[in-house]
Structure 1
């Protein structure tokens, strides 16, 4: 079975709130036994999501979760194969453990455990157990529910880069991945006009990263003044050919409206238009000011699920960038380790295929490589930060 690699984008912000009754999940059965809540989707009765009652624990949470996870696997009649690459990650306040296991008949199941520490120092955790591929829509629903519960119980995740990597980075290996850009574009600046743009929104979403581990990441959306919404933009909006894109990428287009602090979004999902109400996990991104410059070394930590940071021995990312305040950049695709020791020096800048000049303009970055290639992509800063930003569908943090 494939290796499980966790990934996490940044800024999962859970505000403090009073504890309420366990929220239900639409389309799921719910059973209550004491303070234990068991959820099962109506259409998949072998998918188990179980929220356990709080337990008192004052020691290290990661070690406690590892022990609890192994006990959970054994009690279910399963064993973790020696070949399984069990993953253990802490994403700021939330710890995640993931692996697969087999019973004596060779049948396999996925096991995920999530835990966080509450204000009274007790631990709340949940079990997610199901057969088949790790990629499962119900996994997303379960993780969303657990995050909502954490919000109700006052868990707060600090919006910084601590959740981006973390852990032990020794003996890292790297696989470089990239996106294939197929979005229809116009001549530079002949696409969406600045006055037609309401803004860029980033929304917290859960899914499956490389290898099948749970990921929580922020994804960008382009909101237009006419009520249209464009999912996961990569190209600079000012170069986006809207008419051609709606033909070539119909599943990326929908509608939006704002109701107070709730963003109501209607987008295609498996061929059907579905409406969702975003509350508490979305933010307005910021555009750079005119002629703004970036300085320092940055690495990509996610965006679109094509990038994973995680595990104790592996990092996967699409590349690193170093900017200076003279408007120059150097790209670096590396086999792991820190990016902070390379800069925009004369030697590195002379590499025409990996260096050039950059310019920020509204929600766009134009990168002119020394070999003549010009790349124009979406650019935005995360809220209240000038050191965390998105280029296309990739998020970058200081290295």
Structure 2
């Protein structure tokens, strides 16, 4: 494999690995953070934004507390948020808010000016709420001439409290590698039956690739769920538990925000 092929494959691998290396640090033990009685509401805003690599859909969350303070960029369930540690280590994310009629205003810390926030108030889950829905989320990242990847994830919630999830990530090299006679493609899939990955590399000199599968990881993609307020807890069949930020966009419950992305009903 020549240098261009190695660089393309390395870019792909490092990009996927980086997704799992950004865990939010300022958390408490499960459920030891903010309680629902301390929370006024959460506001959500989604919009298209332009980056150096193209257009992407940006999703923002803002937590409003009853003490008149707000926290922007909420990444975890409020029930697991370590407020003291967050205020100390990311003070720029905190500020003051107030209501003016039907409007919600936040204060600019530099100018003292009050501005209306964008977005809308979301709907928390009822305690131990059960739902029956199949929802999907999709995202993509482009690196211009160096390719990119797209991810597709599905979550199935059943009324008996069980869940299933599956996903697929597809990536490939771009025109920069193609100009050098190199093409790289990679696919990863996961679901209740297991996980698999495959990579292919071709160039003017040679072609090759690799693939592997792991049936045991299927246990990670099925189990039981619990919804409570702004928290979704997933306990998979292998015994691992994951707690994520959760809410419905609206009362019709067709759009669910889970973790860091919106899932929409099929």
- Deviation of the 1:358 alpha carbon: 0.8
**What corresponds to 2:119 in structure 1?**
282
**What corresponds to 2:38 in structure 1?**
196
- How far apart, in 2, do the equivalents of 1:375 and 1:221 lie? 22
Distance 1:355 1:245, change over 3 A: same
- Check if 1:296 corresponds to 2:133: yes
TM-score by length of structure 2 reads 0.65
- Deviation of the 1:189 alpha carbon: 1.5
**What corresponds to 2:205 in structure 1?**
none
**What corresponds to 1:255 in structure 2?**
96
Distance 1:292 1:389, change over 3 A: same
- How far apart, in 2, do the equivalents of 1:349 and 1:331 lie? 15
Query: Does the aligned pair in 2 maintain the 1:323–1:344 contact within 8 Å?
Result: no
Query: Does the aligned pair in 2 maintain the 1:295–1:325 contact within 8 Å?
Result: yes
SS in 2 for 1:334: strand
Query: CA RMSD, aligned part only?
Result: 3.4
Moved over 3 A (4+): 175-179, 215-218, 272-276, 342-345
Q: 2:66 aligns with which of 201, 225, 236?
A: 225
Distance 1:287 1:216, change over 3 A: same
- Check if 1:356 corresponds to 2:223: yes
- Deviation of the 1:227 alpha carbon: 1.1
Structure 1: gaps (5+ residues): 1-174, 337-341
- Deviation of the 1:223 alpha carbon: 0.7
**What corresponds to 1:389 in structure 2?**
256
Q: Please show how residues 340-355 of structure 1 align to structure 2 within 5 Å.
A: 351-355=218-222
SS in 2 for 1:351: helix
**What corresponds to 1:143 in structure 2?**
none
Query: Does the aligned pair in 1 maintain the 2:166–2:192 contact within 8 Å?
Result: no
**What corresponds to 2:200 in structure 1?**
none
**What corresponds to 1:330 in structure 2?**
164
Query: Does the aligned pair in 2 maintain the 1:222–1:229 contact within 8 Å?
Result: yes
Distance 1:260 1:349, change over 3 A: farther
Structure with the bigger percentage of helix: 2
TM-score by length of structure 1 reads 0.45
**What corresponds to 1:317 in structure 2?**
151
Deviation digits for residues 175-197 of structure 1 (CA, Å, limit 9, x no counterpart): 96836222311122211121100
Distance 1:234 1:273, change over 3 A: farther
- Deviation of the 1:218 alpha carbon: 4.3
Query: Does the aligned pair in 2 maintain the 1:233–1:392 contact within 8 Å?
Result: no
Distance 1:192 1:208, change over 3 A: same
Distance 1:380 1:267, change over 3 A: farther
Query: Does the aligned pair in 2 maintain the 1:185–1:241 contact within 8 Å?
Result: yes
Distance 1:219 1:380, change over 3 A: same
- Deviation of the 1:254 alpha carbon: 1.6
- Deviation of the 1:251 alpha carbon: 2.5
Deviation digits for residues 67-104 of structure 1 (CA, Å, limit 9, x no counterpart): xxxxxxxxxxxxxxxxxxxxxxxxxxxxxxxxxxxxxx
- Check if 1:234 corresponds to 2:71: no
Q: What is the total number of aligned residue pairs between the two structures? A: 208
- How far apart, in 2, do the equivalents of 1:195 and 1:212 lie? 41
- Deviation of the 1:284 alpha carbon: 0.9
Distance 1:251 1:320, change over 3 A: farther
**What corresponds to 1:265 in structure 2?**
106
- Deviation of the 1:325 alpha carbon: 1.6
- How far apart, in 2, do the equivalents of 1:275 and 1:329 lie? 46
Query: Does the aligned pair in 1 maintain the 2:230–2:247 contact within 8 Å?
Result: yes
